[in-house]
Structure 1
Amino acid sequence: MKKKIIQLLFLLLPFLCNSQEYIDLFSVNYGKSQKTTFENSAIDTNISTFQTNLTLPVVLNEKYTAITGINFSSYNLQLFADSNNNHLYSTNLRAGLRVGHSEHWSGIYLFLPKVASDYINLSTEDIYLGGLALLKYKRDENFGYSFGLYASSEAFGLSMTPLFGLYYHSPDQRFETSFLLPNDADINYSLAEKTKIGLDFLGHGNSYKVTTDNMRSNYVQNNSIDLSSYIQQALFNKKILLRLKMGYSLNNFKVYPMDQKIDLQILALKFGDNRSILFENKSNTILLKVEAIYRFDLSKVKK
């Protein structure tokens, strides 16, 4: 019975897309940029980020596994001149199924509602609905790929993102690469049994309704890219991973009137975009981040 459960859990990940022999059940990270001045702006601010992720798979039978989880993230920065810092929050729920279609093919199908705003005067208008469909091919223990589509309603309208993922782990278990583009990528190498160095990429975008002068009249559309190098140390039989990251963060925050939307966004393409930008803040800055991960290692259980 234990072996069956492990096989069913084998394909589940924080982003539920690759072929690693582990599951990151819980992670938390905090990052802070150096003080920066936004492009074409007098605003001088730090950007702080916080994120935590919890994944809870529940085995139903040999073919189906229920997937539940929650992700919370926040930004803390000054968006407007002569104002206090703005706090932007997003709470994402995750519910769906992993379906084993055949020996090599499986699918992940998720319902992804979220609440995103500054959480001032929170209401049902801050709730957005999304979904993910992802097909994965697993050739063997060391290689697999995936492709799919993510779609979500946002403060600015409908957003759709095609996804492509790849995973490779060298036979000597020292080199590993995994990515789910355009969202994230990771390349790492084992220096010792418990120590790794790596490079990672995180691309993320979101929208938040904000309160200005005690009125809900605007929303922020954010697109950010973080490029980092890191060193990782494993503790407690490699169940806890600690990472120290240093890299470069590219941030773009645009503020629009709440009643102005687009027809559709696919990646960077925007259709029916006739909005008037109230503020646009861009910054490129050094980023420092610390991260902790609780990892469930499937390979050891299988042995």
Structure 2
Amino acid sequence: MADKKYEDKIDILQVGTNQMELVDFRMFELKEDGKIYEGIYGINIAKVKEIIKYPNLIKIPSKDSLIEGIYNLRGEVIPIVSLAKWLGINEPADIKTKKVIITIFNNITVGFIVHDAKRIRRVSWRFVKPPSEVLIHQYGNKIVGTINLDEEHVMIILDFESICEELGIFSEDDIKRIRDTALEGSKDKQKKVKILIADDSATARKIIKTAVEPLAEKIIEAKDGQEAWDMLNRLYEETNGDIEKAVNIIITDVEMPNMDGYRFAKLVKEDERFKKIPVIMNTSLSGNANLQKAKEVGVDDFCTKFIAEEFTQAVLKHI
């Protein structure tokens, strides 16, 4: 009954309702006093390809200690990452409920070892809050947000994009390639634009900002869809209704606390004041299903983080 308040009466998760579904998984930590702590974590189901029992892994030489091995899943060889090592968790011995969550995002397939997978929860992004200072101190940039399930239990939503960065799946070379592509494309453009970036990941905002700087007269940053929406409304008032003086392009993520990118884009495109502003959805949620969702809310372009040519072409198109 603890999470009843997050249940929605509709059976189908509608786009633009500011909702998502999370896989609730657990990580067990052996404390110094010998007690075992059970941590509750979540990952957006849109990133999950499937969940399998912990398999026999093929061990490979790897400079990255986070990679436990590889697994051949129906002909696809997938790197398997230890989430416990990434989180700095002291694992208890002989966990019998281990699973592997096979994910696909940024057009990359990776498996993550978890200690148990419990259920799917439907939640509203407005219940997702940014991590507290205590959690930031403990986890750094590894957390997207938290949800209070009840008075005693909190779910932590992990930033899987930062895992990819740590594993070297997305590197400084990729950032340079995006920036170089933008520089090349900007040669034919006579004007620079004012860009609003909405993304809860500091890593992602840094990458996007670095990439679009050659094209931008001004860059405004928001940490979630609600903050971006509030900024737009404030800028509309400050410019006496001439919003083009303040914002020419919006680049938004999908997964954000308080208000997600789908809801934010829907609000923008349904509002007479803002609907002419091009909205580019730049997200790790790759695949046709997510592209279709973006189209439903009126997004002008959809690109996968962080594919250089795809991203810069989308931005250049609207300058």
- 1 or 2, which has the higher strand percentage? 1
TM-score by length of 2: 0.24
- 1 or 2, which has the higher helix percentage? 2
